[in-house]
Structure 1
Amino acid sequence: MKISALLRQHWAALRALLLLTVLLGVIYPLVIWAIAQIPGLKHHADGLIVEVDGQAVGSSLIGQLFTDANGNPLPEYFQSRPSAAGDGYDPLATSASNLGPEDIVDTADRTSLLTLVCSRSLEVAEFNGLPASAGGRPFCTNDGVGAVLSVIGPRDAGGNVVDPTKVISVNQLCDTTTTPFLDTYEGVRVECNDGQDYSMGQIVPIEGAAVDPQVPADAVTASGSGLDPHISPAYAELQVERVAEARGMSPAEVQQIVDAHTSGRVLGFMGEPTVNVLAVNLALDERNG
Protein backbone atom coordinates (compact mmCIF):
# COMPACT_ATOMS: atom_id res chain seq x y z
CA MET A 1 0.00 0.00 0.00
CA LYS A 2 1.28 3.46 -0.90
CA ILE A 3 2.15 5.93 1.84
CA SER A 4 -0.37 8.45 0.46
CA ALA A 5 -3.25 5.95 0.66
CA LEU A 6 -2.23 4.97 4.19
CA LEU A 7 -2.19 8.61 5.26
CA ARG A 8 -5.63 9.21 3.74
CA GLN A 9 -7.10 6.27 5.66
CA HIS A 10 -5.61 7.44 8.95
CA TRP A 11 -6.73 11.01 8.33
CA ALA A 12 -10.31 9.79 7.64
CA ALA A 13 -10.27 7.72 10.84
CA LEU A 14 -8.97 10.70 12.82
CA ARG A 15 -11.68 12.99 11.46
CA ALA A 16 -14.36 10.43 12.33
CA LEU A 17 -12.93 10.15 15.85
CA LEU A 18 -12.93 13.93 16.29
CA LEU A 19 -16.46 14.29 14.91
CA LEU A 20 -17.91 11.55 17.12
CA THR A 21 -16.05 12.92 20.15
CA VAL A 22 -17.59 16.35 19.63
CA LEU A 23 -21.08 14.99 18.89
CA LEU A 24 -21.31 12.30 21.55
CA GLY A 25 -18.79 13.53 24.09
CA VAL A 26 -19.68 17.24 24.14
CA ILE A 27 -22.84 18.23 22.27
CA TYR A 28 -25.05 15.28 23.29
CA PRO A 29 -24.28 15.54 27.06
CA LEU A 30 -24.87 19.31 26.93
CA VAL A 31 -28.23 18.85 25.20
CA ILE A 32 -29.33 16.26 27.76
CA TRP A 33 -28.15 18.51 30.60
CA ALA A 34 -30.05 21.47 29.12
CA ILE A 35 -33.25 19.41 28.84
CA ALA A 36 -32.83 18.33 32.45
CA GLN A 37 -32.82 21.99 33.56
CA ILE A 38 -36.34 22.56 32.25
CA PRO A 39 -38.68 23.53 35.11
CA GLY A 40 -40.46 20.39 36.29
CA LEU A 41 -37.53 18.16 35.32
CA LYS A 42 -34.67 19.80 37.19
CA HIS A 43 -35.64 18.53 40.64
CA HIS A 44 -35.84 14.97 39.32
CA ALA A 45 -32.55 15.34 37.44
CA ASP A 46 -30.88 16.52 40.63
CA GLY A 47 -31.94 13.31 42.38
CA LEU A 48 -35.04 14.48 44.27
CA ILE A 49 -32.85 15.31 47.27
CA VAL A 50 -34.83 15.68 50.50
CA GLU A 51 -33.64 18.34 52.94
CA VAL A 52 -34.51 19.03 56.56
CA ASP A 53 -33.42 22.36 58.05
CA GLY A 54 -31.16 22.88 55.06
CA GLN A 55 -29.42 19.51 55.46
CA ALA A 56 -29.74 16.74 52.87
CA VAL A 57 -31.14 13.63 54.55
CA GLY A 58 -31.73 11.41 51.54
CA SER A 59 -33.29 11.03 48.13
CA SER A 60 -36.85 10.15 47.24
CA LEU A 61 -35.42 7.92 44.51
CA ILE A 62 -32.96 5.89 46.60
CA GLY A 63 -33.72 3.85 49.70
CA GLN A 64 -31.65 3.85 52.84
CA LEU A 65 -31.21 1.90 56.05
CA PHE A 66 -32.75 3.02 59.34
CA THR A 67 -30.40 1.31 61.76
CA ASP A 68 -28.13 2.15 64.69
CA ALA A 69 -24.32 2.19 64.63
CA ASN A 70 -24.26 -1.59 65.00
CA GLY A 71 -26.62 -2.18 62.11
CA ASN A 72 -29.63 -3.01 64.29
CA PRO A 73 -32.99 -1.74 62.99
CA LEU A 74 -34.42 1.20 64.95
CA PRO A 75 -37.91 0.36 66.29
CA GLU A 76 -39.21 3.93 65.95
CA TYR A 77 -38.68 3.92 62.18
CA PHE A 78 -40.32 2.04 59.35
CA GLN A 79 -37.77 -0.33 57.86
CA SER A 80 -36.94 -0.55 54.17
CA ARG A 81 -36.77 -3.79 52.22
CA PRO A 82 -33.42 -5.67 52.15
CA SER A 83 -30.73 -4.40 49.78
CA ALA A 84 -27.95 -6.27 47.96
CA ALA A 85 -26.25 -3.03 46.81
CA GLY A 86 -22.91 -2.96 48.61
CA ASP A 87 -23.48 -2.65 52.35
CA GLY A 88 -27.04 -1.60 51.57
CA TYR A 89 -28.45 1.02 49.20
CA ASP A 90 -25.02 2.02 47.87
CA PRO A 91 -25.67 3.86 44.55
CA LEU A 92 -22.12 3.05 43.43
CA ALA A 93 -22.71 -0.68 43.90
CA THR A 94 -26.28 -1.07 42.67
CA SER A 95 -26.97 -4.72 42.02
CA ALA A 96 -29.12 -7.71 42.81
CA SER A 97 -27.95 -10.83 44.63
CA ASN A 98 -28.20 -12.84 41.38
CA LEU A 99 -29.73 -15.68 43.39
CA GLY A 100 -32.68 -17.37 41.73
CA PRO A 101 -35.66 -19.44 42.89
CA GLU A 102 -33.73 -22.68 42.41
CA ASP A 103 -31.03 -21.56 44.86
CA ILE A 104 -32.23 -23.62 47.82
CA VAL A 105 -29.19 -25.44 49.24
CA ASP A 106 -26.72 -23.76 51.61
CA THR A 107 -23.02 -24.34 51.08
CA ALA A 108 -20.02 -23.87 53.36
CA ASP A 109 -19.28 -20.43 51.93
CA ARG A 110 -22.71 -19.16 50.84
CA THR A 111 -26.24 -19.01 52.18
CA SER A 112 -28.94 -19.93 49.70
CA LEU A 113 -31.68 -17.49 48.71
CA LEU A 114 -34.27 -19.79 50.31
CA THR A 115 -32.54 -19.73 53.70
CA LEU A 116 -32.07 -15.95 53.46
CA VAL A 117 -35.81 -15.56 52.90
CA CYS A 118 -36.65 -17.98 55.73
CA SER A 119 -34.36 -16.32 58.28
CA ARG A 120 -35.43 -12.80 57.32
CA SER A 121 -39.08 -13.74 57.69
CA LEU A 122 -38.55 -14.91 61.28
CA GLU A 123 -36.51 -11.79 62.09
CA VAL A 124 -39.19 -9.46 60.69
CA ALA A 125 -41.92 -11.23 62.64
CA GLU A 126 -39.95 -11.08 65.90
CA PHE A 127 -38.94 -7.43 65.41
CA ASN A 128 -42.56 -6.43 64.88
CA GLY A 129 -43.81 -8.28 67.93
CA LEU A 130 -45.46 -11.14 66.09
CA PRO A 131 -45.32 -14.78 67.19
CA ALA A 132 -42.70 -16.98 65.56
CA SER A 133 -45.44 -18.79 63.66
CA ALA A 134 -46.21 -15.53 61.82
CA GLY A 135 -42.73 -15.67 60.28
CA GLY A 136 -43.34 -19.10 58.78
CA ARG A 137 -43.19 -19.47 55.02
CA PRO A 138 -43.57 -22.28 52.48
CA PHE A 139 -40.43 -24.43 52.16
CA CYS A 140 -38.99 -23.05 55.43
CA THR A 141 -38.20 -24.85 58.68
CA ASN A 142 -39.28 -23.53 62.07
CA ASP A 143 -35.68 -22.51 62.80
CA GLY A 144 -35.43 -20.35 59.69
CA VAL A 145 -33.59 -22.33 57.01
CA GLY A 146 -34.70 -23.91 53.78
CA ALA A 147 -36.75 -27.07 54.26
CA VAL A 148 -34.81 -29.16 51.77
CA LEU A 149 -33.97 -32.85 51.79
CA SER A 150 -31.25 -34.80 50.05
CA VAL A 151 -32.80 -38.19 49.33
CA ILE A 152 -30.23 -40.93 48.66
CA GLY A 153 -30.98 -44.29 47.11
CA PRO A 154 -31.43 -46.16 43.81
CA ARG A 155 -33.12 -44.19 41.03
CA ASP A 156 -35.48 -44.97 38.20
CA ALA A 157 -34.97 -44.08 34.54
CA GLY A 158 -36.25 -40.54 35.20
CA GLY A 159 -33.62 -39.91 37.88
CA ASN A 160 -36.02 -40.08 40.83
CA VAL A 161 -35.13 -42.02 43.95
CA VAL A 162 -37.50 -44.99 44.21
CA ASP A 163 -36.29 -46.65 47.40
CA PRO A 164 -34.62 -44.14 49.79
CA THR A 165 -31.86 -45.50 52.01
CA LYS A 166 -30.78 -42.22 53.62
CA VAL A 167 -32.47 -38.80 53.94
CA ILE A 168 -30.66 -35.64 55.04
CA SER A 169 -32.08 -32.21 55.91
CA VAL A 170 -29.25 -30.50 54.04
CA ASN A 171 -29.68 -26.97 55.47
CA GLN A 172 -29.89 -28.04 59.11
CA LEU A 173 -26.38 -28.56 60.45
CA CYS A 174 -26.01 -31.01 63.31
CA ASP A 175 -25.47 -29.64 66.80
CA THR A 176 -26.80 -30.41 70.26
CA THR A 177 -30.07 -28.55 69.64
CA THR A 178 -30.84 -29.43 66.01
CA THR A 179 -33.93 -31.48 65.33
CA PRO A 180 -34.71 -32.24 61.67
CA PHE A 181 -37.92 -30.54 60.57
CA LEU A 182 -39.31 -33.92 59.46
CA ASP A 183 -39.19 -37.13 61.45
CA THR A 184 -39.37 -39.44 58.45
CA TYR A 185 -39.59 -39.27 54.66
CA GLU A 186 -41.08 -42.24 52.82
CA GLY A 187 -40.44 -44.41 55.86
CA VAL A 188 -36.79 -43.36 56.31
CA ARG A 189 -35.66 -41.38 59.36
CA VAL A 190 -34.53 -37.86 58.45
CA GLU A 191 -31.08 -36.86 59.72
CA CYS A 192 -29.42 -33.47 60.12
CA ASN A 193 -26.44 -32.46 58.00
CA ASP A 194 -23.17 -33.57 59.63
CA GLY A 195 -21.04 -31.57 57.18
CA GLN A 196 -20.54 -34.22 54.52
CA ASP A 197 -21.27 -33.72 50.84
CA TYR A 198 -24.80 -34.90 50.11
CA SER A 199 -25.07 -33.41 46.63
CA MET A 200 -25.32 -36.91 45.18
CA GLY A 201 -28.83 -37.22 46.56
CA GLN A 202 -32.04 -36.04 44.94
CA ILE A 203 -32.80 -32.54 46.23
CA VAL A 204 -36.40 -32.37 47.42
CA PRO A 205 -37.91 -29.12 48.82
CA ILE A 206 -40.76 -29.64 51.30
CA GLU A 207 -43.55 -27.05 51.21
CA GLY A 208 -44.77 -27.52 54.76
CA ALA A 209 -47.90 -26.09 56.37
CA ALA A 210 -47.10 -22.33 56.29
CA VAL A 211 -48.52 -21.72 52.82
CA ASP A 212 -50.02 -18.29 53.64
CA PRO A 213 -47.16 -16.19 55.07
CA GLN A 214 -48.00 -13.09 57.13
CA VAL A 215 -44.68 -11.42 56.32
CA PRO A 216 -44.88 -9.86 52.80
CA ALA A 217 -42.41 -10.83 50.09
CA ASP A 218 -40.82 -7.37 49.89
CA ALA A 219 -39.85 -7.65 53.57
CA VAL A 220 -37.57 -10.61 52.83
CA THR A 221 -36.31 -10.03 49.26
CA ALA A 222 -34.21 -7.27 47.75
CA SER A 223 -35.18 -5.29 44.67
CA GLY A 224 -33.35 -5.79 41.38
CA SER A 225 -31.41 -2.55 41.78
CA GLY A 226 -30.94 -2.78 45.53
CA LEU A 227 -31.97 0.90 45.70
CA ASP A 228 -35.77 0.73 45.83
CA PRO A 229 -37.02 3.39 48.31
CA HIS A 230 -40.52 1.90 48.55
CA ILE A 231 -42.23 -0.90 50.40
CA SER A 232 -45.66 -2.40 49.90
CA PRO A 233 -48.66 -1.15 51.93
CA ALA A 234 -48.83 -4.65 53.42
CA TYR A 235 -45.27 -4.39 54.80
CA ALA A 236 -45.99 -0.89 56.08
CA GLU A 237 -49.14 -2.12 57.83
CA LEU A 238 -47.11 -4.88 59.48
CA GLN A 239 -44.86 -2.22 61.08
CA VAL A 240 -47.53 0.25 62.25
CA GLU A 241 -48.06 -1.21 65.73
CA ARG A 242 -44.33 -1.38 66.48
CA VAL A 243 -43.63 2.19 65.32
CA ALA A 244 -46.67 3.55 67.19
CA GLU A 245 -45.56 1.91 70.42
CA ALA A 246 -41.97 3.12 70.06
CA ARG A 247 -43.09 6.72 69.44
CA GLY A 248 -45.94 6.85 71.94
CA MET A 249 -48.48 7.42 69.17
CA SER A 250 -51.71 5.66 68.37
CA PRO A 251 -51.69 3.15 65.51
CA ALA A 252 -54.37 5.23 63.82
CA GLU A 253 -52.08 8.30 63.78
CA VAL A 254 -49.22 6.30 62.30
CA GLN A 255 -51.49 4.69 59.71
CA GLN A 256 -52.76 8.12 58.71
CA ILE A 257 -49.18 9.20 57.92
CA VAL A 258 -48.58 6.00 55.97
CA ASP A 259 -51.72 6.57 53.93
CA ALA A 260 -50.63 10.13 53.15
CA HIS A 261 -47.39 8.86 51.62
CA THR A 262 -48.82 5.91 49.71
CA SER A 263 -48.79 6.14 45.92
CA GLY A 264 -51.20 4.23 43.71
CA ARG A 265 -50.50 2.33 40.52
CA VAL A 266 -48.78 4.30 37.75
CA LEU A 267 -51.45 5.61 35.38
CA GLY A 268 -53.93 3.69 37.45
CA PHE A 269 -53.03 0.23 36.16
CA MET A 270 -49.25 -0.32 36.09
CA GLY A 271 -47.40 -1.81 39.05
CA GLU A 272 -48.63 -1.92 42.62
CA PRO A 273 -49.30 0.73 45.30
CA THR A 274 -46.14 1.73 47.19
CA VAL A 275 -45.11 3.53 50.38
CA ASN A 276 -42.05 5.79 50.41
CA VAL A 277 -40.18 4.84 53.59
CA LEU A 278 -38.07 8.00 53.86
CA ALA A 279 -41.10 10.26 53.45
CA VAL A 280 -43.04 8.39 56.13
CA ASN A 281 -40.15 8.47 58.60
CA LEU A 282 -39.55 12.18 58.07
CA ALA A 283 -43.25 12.88 58.59
CA LEU A 284 -43.14 10.88 61.82
CA ASP A 285 -40.10 12.84 63.04
CA GLU A 286 -41.86 16.09 62.20
CA ARG A 287 -44.98 14.99 64.10
CA ASN A 288 -42.85 14.00 67.12
CA GLY A 289 -40.79 17.18 66.96
Structure 2
Amino acid sequence: MLTHIRPAIVMMALFTILCGGIYPYFITGVAQVAFPSAANGSLVSRNGAVVGSALIGQNFTSDKYFQGRPSATTGTDPNDATKTIAQPYNADNSTGSNLGPTAKPLVDRVTASIADLRKQGVTGDIPADAVTTSASGLDPDITPADAAMQVARVAKARNLPGDQVRSVLDAQTSGRLFGVIGEPHVNVLALNLALDATTTK
Protein backbone atom coordinates (compact mmCIF):
# COMPACT_ATOMS: atom_id res chain seq x y z
CA MET A 1 0.00 0.00 0.00
CA LEU A 2 2.87 2.36 0.85
CA THR A 3 4.28 1.84 -2.62
CA HIS A 4 1.11 3.44 -4.04
CA ILE A 5 0.71 6.23 -1.49
CA ARG A 6 4.31 7.49 -1.64
CA PRO A 7 4.31 8.29 -5.40
CA ALA A 8 0.91 9.96 -5.03
CA ILE A 9 2.15 12.19 -2.21
CA VAL A 10 5.36 13.02 -4.10
CA MET A 11 3.46 13.89 -7.27
CA MET A 12 0.96 16.04 -5.34
CA ALA A 13 3.78 17.93 -3.62
CA LEU A 14 5.69 18.31 -6.88
CA PHE A 15 2.74 19.71 -8.83
CA THR A 16 1.71 21.94 -5.92
CA ILE A 17 5.16 23.53 -5.95
CA LEU A 18 5.27 23.66 -9.77
CA CYS A 19 1.73 24.87 -10.50
CA GLY A 20 1.03 26.73 -7.27
CA GLY A 21 4.38 28.43 -6.85
CA ILE A 22 6.95 28.38 -9.64
CA TYR A 23 4.55 28.86 -12.59
CA PRO A 24 2.55 31.78 -11.09
CA TYR A 25 5.72 33.58 -10.00
CA PHE A 26 7.26 33.04 -13.43
CA ILE A 27 4.21 34.40 -15.27
CA THR A 28 3.97 37.32 -12.84
CA GLY A 29 7.62 38.15 -13.46
CA VAL A 30 7.19 38.02 -17.23
CA ALA A 31 4.10 40.25 -17.01
CA GLN A 32 5.89 42.79 -14.80
CA VAL A 33 8.72 43.05 -17.32
CA ALA A 34 6.73 42.90 -20.56
CA PHE A 35 3.47 44.64 -19.57
CA PRO A 36 4.03 46.45 -16.24
CA SER A 37 1.07 48.83 -16.56
CA ALA A 38 -1.47 46.16 -17.52
CA ALA A 39 -0.09 43.70 -14.96
CA ASN A 40 -0.69 46.24 -12.19
CA GLY A 41 -4.25 47.12 -13.15
CA SER A 42 -3.65 49.91 -15.69
CA LEU A 43 -3.53 52.41 -12.84
CA VAL A 44 -3.69 56.11 -13.64
CA SER A 45 -1.73 58.62 -11.56
CA ARG A 46 -1.80 62.39 -11.21
CA ASN A 47 0.88 64.28 -9.30
CA GLY A 48 2.24 60.98 -8.00
CA ALA A 49 -1.08 59.78 -6.58
CA VAL A 50 -3.21 57.00 -8.04
CA VAL A 51 -6.57 58.44 -9.11
CA GLY A 52 -8.10 55.41 -10.79
CA SER A 53 -7.74 52.74 -13.42
CA ALA A 54 -8.10 53.09 -17.17
CA LEU A 55 -10.20 49.90 -17.07
CA ILE A 56 -12.80 50.91 -14.46
CA GLY A 57 -15.17 53.85 -14.77
CA GLN A 58 -15.82 56.40 -12.05
CA ASN A 59 -18.97 58.21 -10.98
CA PHE A 60 -18.27 61.78 -12.12
CA THR A 61 -21.22 63.97 -11.13
CA SER A 62 -19.92 67.54 -11.37
CA ASP A 63 -20.93 69.56 -14.43
CA LYS A 64 -17.23 70.43 -14.82
CA TYR A 65 -16.50 66.87 -15.86
CA PHE A 66 -17.55 64.55 -18.64
CA GLN A 67 -19.68 61.78 -17.22
CA GLY A 68 -19.66 58.08 -18.02
CA ARG A 69 -22.64 55.99 -18.94
CA PRO A 70 -25.13 55.05 -16.20
CA SER A 71 -24.08 52.24 -13.86
CA ALA A 72 -26.41 49.67 -12.27
CA THR A 73 -23.98 48.40 -9.64
CA THR A 74 -25.15 48.24 -6.04
CA GLY A 75 -23.67 47.85 -2.57
CA THR A 76 -24.63 47.24 1.02
CA ASP A 77 -26.57 50.01 2.70
CA PRO A 78 -24.23 51.40 5.40
CA ASN A 79 -27.27 52.06 7.60
CA ASP A 80 -28.83 48.61 7.16
CA ALA A 81 -26.67 45.61 6.25
CA THR A 82 -29.75 43.66 5.13
CA LYS A 83 -30.44 46.09 2.28
CA THR A 84 -28.67 47.09 -0.90
CA ILE A 85 -28.55 50.54 -2.41
CA ALA A 86 -27.38 51.98 -5.72
CA GLN A 87 -23.61 52.51 -5.76
CA PRO A 88 -22.59 53.51 -9.30
CA TYR A 89 -19.27 52.07 -10.46
CA ASN A 90 -18.88 49.84 -7.40
CA ALA A 91 -15.92 47.72 -8.52
CA ASP A 92 -16.67 45.15 -5.80
CA ASN A 93 -20.00 44.28 -7.39
CA SER A 94 -19.75 44.33 -11.16
CA THR A 95 -23.21 43.77 -12.65
CA GLY A 96 -25.78 44.98 -15.12
CA SER A 97 -29.39 45.78 -14.32
CA ASN A 98 -30.54 42.42 -15.76
CA LEU A 99 -33.80 44.10 -16.76
CA GLY A 100 -35.49 43.12 -20.01
CA PRO A 101 -36.07 45.76 -22.71
CA THR A 102 -39.75 46.10 -21.80
CA ALA A 103 -39.29 46.10 -18.00
CA LYS A 104 -41.08 49.12 -16.52
CA PRO A 105 -38.22 50.07 -14.14
CA LEU A 106 -35.83 50.19 -17.11
CA VAL A 107 -38.25 52.17 -19.27
CA ASP A 108 -38.91 54.61 -16.42
CA ARG A 109 -35.19 55.10 -15.73
CA VAL A 110 -34.30 55.68 -19.38
CA THR A 111 -37.25 58.05 -19.81
CA ALA A 112 -36.15 60.02 -16.75
CA SER A 113 -32.56 60.17 -18.03
CA ILE A 114 -33.72 61.50 -21.39
CA ALA A 115 -35.92 64.11 -19.70
CA ASP A 116 -32.97 65.24 -17.56
CA LEU A 117 -30.77 65.64 -20.62
CA ARG A 118 -33.48 67.67 -22.34
CA LYS A 119 -33.61 69.97 -19.29
CA GLN A 120 -29.87 70.47 -19.69
CA GLY A 121 -30.51 71.75 -23.19
CA VAL A 122 -29.56 68.65 -25.16
CA THR A 123 -31.38 68.54 -28.48
CA GLY A 124 -31.48 66.02 -31.28
CA ASP A 125 -30.74 62.32 -31.00
CA ILE A 126 -29.38 61.07 -27.68
CA PRO A 127 -26.69 58.36 -27.91
CA ALA A 128 -27.83 55.04 -26.43
CA ASP A 129 -24.85 54.79 -24.10
CA ALA A 130 -25.83 58.07 -22.45
CA VAL A 131 -28.97 56.52 -20.96
CA THR A 132 -28.26 52.77 -20.80
CA THR A 133 -25.98 50.82 -18.48
CA SER A 134 -23.22 48.48 -19.57
CA ALA A 135 -23.24 44.77 -18.75
CA SER A 136 -20.52 45.24 -16.14
CA GLY A 137 -21.62 48.58 -14.72
CA LEU A 138 -17.94 49.58 -14.82
CA ASP A 139 -17.44 50.64 -18.44
CA PRO A 140 -14.71 53.32 -18.49
CA ASP A 141 -15.47 54.48 -22.05
CA ILE A 142 -18.23 56.36 -23.82
CA THR A 143 -18.89 56.98 -27.49
CA PRO A 144 -17.60 60.18 -29.13
CA ALA A 145 -21.24 61.14 -29.72
CA ASP A 146 -22.00 60.89 -26.00
CA ALA A 147 -18.93 62.98 -25.17
CA ALA A 148 -19.75 65.57 -27.85
CA MET A 149 -23.23 65.94 -26.35
CA GLN A 150 -21.61 67.00 -23.05
CA VAL A 151 -19.22 69.61 -24.45
CA ALA A 152 -21.58 72.56 -24.00
CA ARG A 153 -22.31 71.68 -20.35
CA VAL A 154 -18.63 71.19 -19.47
CA ALA A 155 -17.57 74.36 -21.27
CA LYS A 156 -20.23 76.41 -19.48
CA ALA A 157 -19.31 74.99 -16.06
CA ARG A 158 -15.63 75.76 -16.63
CA ASN A 159 -16.28 79.10 -18.33
CA LEU A 160 -14.31 77.97 -21.37
CA PRO A 161 -14.91 78.28 -25.12
CA GLY A 162 -16.65 75.20 -26.50
CA ASP A 163 -13.95 74.87 -29.17
CA GLN A 164 -11.26 74.52 -26.50
CA VAL A 165 -13.14 71.74 -24.74
CA ARG A 166 -13.85 70.03 -28.04
CA SER A 167 -10.17 70.11 -29.00
CA VAL A 168 -9.32 68.26 -25.78
CA LEU A 169 -12.06 65.75 -26.56
CA ASP A 170 -10.77 65.22 -30.09
CA ALA A 171 -7.26 64.59 -28.77
CA GLN A 172 -8.57 61.98 -26.33
CA THR A 173 -10.77 60.12 -28.82
CA SER A 174 -9.40 56.67 -29.73
CA GLY A 175 -10.18 55.09 -33.07
CA ARG A 176 -10.62 51.47 -34.05
CA LEU A 177 -7.73 49.12 -33.29
CA PHE A 178 -5.73 48.69 -36.51
CA GLY A 179 -8.47 50.74 -38.15
CA VAL A 180 -10.99 47.89 -38.17
CA ILE A 181 -11.45 46.35 -34.69
CA GLY A 182 -13.93 47.84 -32.23
CA GLU A 183 -15.52 51.28 -32.30
CA PRO A 184 -14.18 54.79 -31.66
CA HIS A 185 -14.35 55.56 -27.93
CA VAL A 186 -13.35 58.02 -25.26
CA ASN A 187 -11.91 57.06 -21.88
CA VAL A 188 -13.76 59.33 -19.46
CA LEU A 189 -11.06 59.42 -16.77
CA ALA A 190 -8.31 60.20 -19.28
CA LEU A 191 -10.47 62.91 -20.87
CA ASN A 192 -11.23 64.60 -17.54
CA LEU A 193 -7.58 64.49 -16.47
CA ALA A 194 -6.53 66.00 -19.80
CA LEU A 195 -9.16 68.68 -19.40
CA ASP A 196 -7.92 69.51 -15.89
CA ALA A 197 -4.32 69.64 -17.12
CA THR A 198 -5.27 71.95 -19.97
CA THR A 199 -7.30 74.39 -17.91
CA THR A 200 -4.78 74.65 -15.07
CA LYS A 201 -1.81 75.59 -17.24
Give the TM bin, normalised by the shorter chain.
Answer: 0.7 to 0.9
Between structures 1 and 2, the one with greater helix share: 2
- Alignment size in residue pairs: 188
**CA gap 1:10/1:238 in 2 versus in 1, 3 angstroms:** same
Question: What does 1:52-201 align with in structure 2 at a 5 Å threshold?
Answer: 52-66=46-60, 73-86=61-74, 87-101=87-101, 104-106=102-104, 111=105, 113-126=106-119, 128-130=120-122, 134=123
SS at match of 1:91: coil
Q: Which has the larger radius of gyration?
A: 1
Aligned equivalents of 2:68, 2:174: Cα separation in 1: 16
Percent of residue pairs bearing the same amino acid type = 45
**CA gap 1:222/1:105 in 2 versus in 1, 3 angstroms:** closer
Q: Does 1:217 align with 2:128?
A: yes
8 Å contact 1:230–1:274 — kept in the other structure?
A: yes
Aligned equivalents of 1:125, 1:284: Cα separation in 2: 25
Q: Which runs of 5+ in 2 are unaligned?
A: 75-86
**CA gap 1:105/1:90 in 2 versus in 1, 3 angstroms:** closer
Q: Which runs of 5+ in 1 are unaligned?
A: 67-72, 135-212
What is the match of residue 42 of structure 2? 48
Deviation readout 1:32-91 (Å, 9 max, x if unpaired): 20111124x10121122222211111111211011xxxxxx2111100111223312222
Deviation readout 1:86-110 (Å, 9 max, x if unpaired): 3122222222222233xx243xxxx
Q: Which amino acid aligns with 2:54?
A: S
Q: Does 1:17 align with 2:12?
A: yes
Compute the RMSD of aligned alpha carbons. Answer: 2.0
Aligned equivalents of 1:8, 1:267: Cα separation in 2: 59
CA-CA distance at 1:266 after TM superposition: 1.4
**CA gap 1:9/1:225 in 2 versus in 1, 3 angstroms:** farther
Aligned equivalents of 2:159, 2:174: Cα separation in 1: 26
CA-CA distance at 1:277 after TM superposition: 0.8
8 Å contact 1:124–1:219 — kept in the other structure?
A: no
TM normalised by structure 2 equals 0.84
Which of residues 24, 27, 30 is equivalent to 1:32?
27
Deviation readout 1:208-260 (Å, 9 max, x if unpaired): xxxxx711111112222222111000000100001001101111100000000
Q: Which amino acid aligns with 1:95?
A: T
